[in-house]
Amino acid sequence: MDFELTESMTMLRDAARTFADKRLKAGAPEWDEAEAIPDEVYKEAAELGFFGLSVPEEFGGLGVDALAYAAAMEELARGSASLQVCVTVHNSLAAAAIAKHGTGEQKKKYLPKMASGEWIGAYSLSEPGSGTDAASLTTTAEDKGDHWLVNGAKAWVTNGGFASVFLVFVSTNKAAGSRGISCLLVDKGAPGFSVGKKEKKMGLRASDTRELAFVSAKIPKSALLGAVGGGFKIAMSQLDSGRVGIAAQAVGIAQAAFEEAVAYAKERRQFGKRLAEFQLTQAKLADMATNIEAARLLVWRAADLLGRGVKCTKEASMAKSFASRIANKACFDAVQIHGGNGFVREFPVERYYRDARVTEIYEGTTEIQSLIVAREVLG
C-alpha cells in the first residue's frame, strides 16, 4: 500500500480540513448545546460536495476513492463528530448501497438528489429489541401483490429527523432467518410511516437520532433494494465500509483531543513549570500520538482494500475496534491533562470525551468487532 495521497486526495482532505478548522470547530460547542446543527452548515457541506463523495460521477457525485473518503472523514470529525456522522451514514451506508445494489430507476431517482445534499439518506437496521443481534429484527414486510405492508419499529436511526430516503431492513420471511431479511427504500412521508422522538444523547448531541414507526405502512413494490431475502448481506457489506467511516471518525476525535492536550500542556504551568515539561505528561502525549498514528494506518489499510474492491470485513473491524478504543483513551487522557478544566464545557475536550464514547457502540460494538475478527482469523 502506498501511504502517499494523490494530488486529488490531498485536495479533498485539505478542503475537509479547512472546513473543519474555519467552520466546524467554532460552531460545534453551540450545536452541542442546541442539540442541532443549523441548516446553513448542512448547505455549506453540500456545496463543498461532501454529500456526493460516494455517489458516482455519472449521477452528479464525486465518486471518490475510499482512501480519500477516509482522510476527509477524519478531518470532518476533527471539526464536528456530529456533522461527520451525518455525512458518513448518508454516504457509506445509504448512497453507496443504492449505487451498488439499486436498479437503474432507483439510481436515477435517488442518487442525483443525494449527491447534491437535497435528499439525505438514513440506514435503519436496529430495533428496540435487536441491536447487536441484527438478524433477529422483527419488523415485517408482507407482499400484498401491488405493495409491501410494513409493520414494526426501528431504533437509533442517524439523520432520522430530516432524511428523505431510509434503507429499512425488514423480515419478508421469518422462517428463513437472516436469509429472510430484505431491504426497502422508504421515502419520507410514505403512508403509515412516521419518524418518532429525537434521542437525547450523552455525545454526538448535535446529530439527529430517531425512532421510526411503521403501522400498516404501504410501501411500493418498486422500493425493494436488491433481491428478496438479500437484505442482510446488503446490511453487513455496507457496514464493512460504514465501519471505515466510523473508524476515521474515532481517529478525528482522538486527533482533536490530542491537539488540545498538546496546546494546554505547553501553556499551563504548575510547580513553576509547563505541564509539557513533566515526564508523566509527556508519556501520555507520546502514547496518544503513537496510537493515533497506528489507528490511522489501520483505517487507511481497510480503506485501501475497500477502494480496490477487496473484501475488508476483518480489516474494517480491526480498524473500528482499535481506533474507537484509542479515541476513548486519548480523550480520557486529554481530560486528565486539563484537570478540572477538562470537566467543564468551556474546554472542547469535555465534548470530545462524550463524543468518543459511542464509537465503541454504534455500527457494531467493540465486542462484535472482536467476534468478527476472531471468526476471520479462526476460519
Given a contact cutoff of 8 angstroms between Cβ atoms, the answer to whether 137 and 170 are in contact is yes
Judged by beta carbon, residue 5 or residue 135, the one nearer ligand CAA is 135
Q: How far is the CB of 240 from ligand CAA (least distance, A)?
A: 5
- Closest C-alpha among 110, 50, 35 to residue 84: 50
Amino acid at 308: R
Helices (H), 199-338: 231-267, 279-307, 313-338
Given a contact cutoff of 8 angstroms between Cβ atoms, the answer to whether 360 and 330 are in contact is no
| The binder of ligand CAA chosen from 178, 336, 341, 366 (CB under 6 A) | 178
> Is residue 132 within the footprint of ligand CAA (CB under 6 A)?
yes
Active-site annotation holds for 35: no
Given a contact cutoff of 8 angstroms between Cβ atoms, the answer to whether 361 and 246 are in contact is no
> Is residue 125 within the footprint of ligand CAA (CB under 6 A)?
yes
> Is residue 240 within the footprint of ligand CAA (CB under 6 A)?
yes
Three-class HEC string of 26-51: HHHHHHHHHCCCCHHHHHHHHHCCHH
DSSP H helix total and E strand total for the chain: 12, 10
Judged by beta carbon, residue 140 or residue 336, the one nearer ligand CAA is 140
Judged by beta carbon, residue 227 or residue 283, the one nearer ligand CAA is 227
Q: Which region, judged by CB under 6 A, interacts with ligand CAA, from 1-9, 104-112, 197-205, 231-239?
A: 231-239
> Is residue 294 within the footprint of ligand CAA (CB under 6 A)?
no
> Is residue 123 within the footprint of ligand CAA (CB under 6 A)?
yes
Catalytic residue from among 293, 346, 363, 367: 363
Grid cell locating 289: 500520538
Q: Which region, judged by CB under 6 A, interacts with ligand CAA, from 132-140, 181-189, 247-255, 282-290?
A: 132-140
> Is residue 313 within the footprint of ligand CAA (CB under 6 A)?
yes
Q: How far is the CB of 85 from ligand CAA (least distance, A)?
A: 6
Grid cell locating 155: 431504533
Residue 29 dihedral angles phi and psi, to the nearest 5°: -60, -40
Given a contact cutoff of 8 angstroms between Cβ atoms, the answer to whether 64 and 10 are in contact is no
> Is residue 173 within the footprint of ligand CAA (CB under 6 A)?
no
Residues that bind ligand CAA in the complex, under the rule CB under 6 A: 89, 123, 125-126, 132, 134-135, 156, 158, 178-179, 232-233, 236-237, 239-240, 313, 362-364, 368, 372
Residue positions annotated with a catalytic role = 363
